[in-house]
Amino acid sequence: MSVFERCFLPGILGVLAAALGPIPAEARAATGAPVKVEALPGTIVRWSVPGTKRCGMGTRSWTALQETCYYPVDLMQTPAVLRVSRRGAGLTAYARISVLASSYGTEDITLGDIPQANPSPADLRRNSRDQALVGKVWTRRDRPARFTLPLGPPVASPLPEGKGFGVKWIFNGKPESSEVHSGTDYAVAPGTPVTAVADGTVVIAEDLFLTGKGVFIDHGDGLVSMYFHLAELKVQAGQDVKKGETLGLVGSTGRVTGPHLHLGVRWHGARIDPRLLLDDPARIPAIGP
């Protein structure tokens, strides 16, 4: 059974845990429900209570999305108990997310004779510049949300099954070159138009060393979507785009073994499986009923 099935298929995956330990009075009064749930790295937990206005997790806080708090758990989060909060008109309520130890498995990737397989010093310098550019995206100040859930598909239907999220890739048999894949890959024909999953502002639209021609979109509320390995770019940095607008065409640029679309998302700094945001949000494991 796949990790995705374990987490999200009704009746099989329930990652909700029973109440554990004494329930804080403020949480009990606000929800009347268990205040501890389990989650895998790279997934999301929600907390829906009428009147919810603010959400908190660690050092971050943000505005609730349609009276619901969504708590993304970073793909690289180690087993731990994370304290989260929800604030409405009354007292602040608290809950805990128990992050489980999980492995998405490994996969050997054979790269052909491309620069990304054996980068030169100049390639490495270029990649360092790329990473500095991308790093600025994660420090942008959160703006109001310009999306609702579920997000739109990144290509016209039918969207093929997404694969590869969380898998540890080993390139050309070299364990020291391993990398955890933080996006989901879709086997889509080259030349297929790639579309924005929600309204937003393009913050990067460039040909980067590893990702190839890629687009990064800021959707507000700390949500950034990423589209990699494109054959052609149809937008530019600073441009506002609408949900469903064409961003580029599927290709095989960057570090790839063939044409496909890599879709990635970060939400409140956490790398999560984008498939969770493309599906009915009611299927996301919840705190309380």
Residue range 142-192, pLDDT digits in tens: 999 999 999 999 999 789 999 999 999 999 998 878 899 999 999 999 999
123: in domain: yes
Residues 134 and 266 in one domain: yes
Q: Which residues, 6 or more positions from 274, have their beta carbon under 8 angstroms from its beta carbon?
A: 151, 162, 165, 183, 184, 197, 225, 263, 264, 265
- Exposed / middle / buried, residue 118 (Cβ in 10 Å: 0-12, 13-18, 19+): exposed
CA atoms of 209 and 182, how far apart (whole Å): 17
Number of H helices, E strands in the chain: 4, 19
Residues 58 and 123 in one domain: no
CA atoms of 199 and 4, how far apart (whole Å): 27
Residues 76 and 178 in one domain: no
The 3-class SS string of 148-198 reads CCCCCCCCCCCCCCCECCCCEEEECCEEEEEEECCCEEECCCCCCEEECCC
Cβ atoms of 218 and 147 closer than 8 Å: no
Amino acid 288: pLDDT: 79
Amino acid 103: pLDDT: 82
Residues 269 and 164 in one domain: yes
169: in domain: yes
Last residue of a domain, one of 102, 122, 152: 102
CA atoms of 76 and 179, how far apart (whole Å): 11
288: in domain: no
CA atoms of 46 and 7, how far apart (whole Å): 13
25: in domain: yes
Residues 84 and 184 in one domain: no
Cβ atoms of 258 and 250 closer than 8 Å: no
Residue 248, SS3? strand
CA atoms of 183 and 287, how far apart (whole Å): 26
- What CATH number has the domain bearing residue 153? 2.70.70.10
Look up the domain containing 38 and give its range. Answer: 3-102
Q: Which of 258, 257, 235, 260 is nearest to 246 (CA)?
A: 235
pLDDT in tens, the chain (289 residues): 443 444 433 332 333 233 333 333 334 434 444 478 999 999 999 999 999 999 999 999 999 999 999 999 999 999 999 999 999 978 899 999 999 998 899 999 999 999 999 999 999 999 999 999 999 999 999 999 999 999 999 999 789 999 999 999 999 998 878 899 999 999 999 999 999 999 999 999 999 999 999 999 999 999 999 999 999 999 999 999 999 999 999 999 999 999 999 999 999 999 999 999 999 999 999 997 6
283: in domain: no
Residues 89 and 119 in one domain: no
| Two structure tokens written together for 61 | 């806080």
User: What is the number of domains present in the chain?
Assistant: 2
Q: Which residues, 6 or more positions from 262, have their beta carbon under 8 angstroms from its beta carbon?
A: 183, 184, 185, 186, 211, 226, 227, 228, 229
Residue 79, SS3? coil
Amino acid 289: pLDDT: 60
Amino acid 171: pLDDT: 93
Half-sphere exposure of 42 (CA within 13 A, CB side): 24
| Two structure tokens written together for 152 | 């739109």
Amino acid at 89: A
Residues 129 and 79 in one domain: no
Residues 96 and 122 in one domain: no
| Two structure tokens written together for 285 | 């494991």
286: in domain: no
Amino acid 147: pLDDT: 98
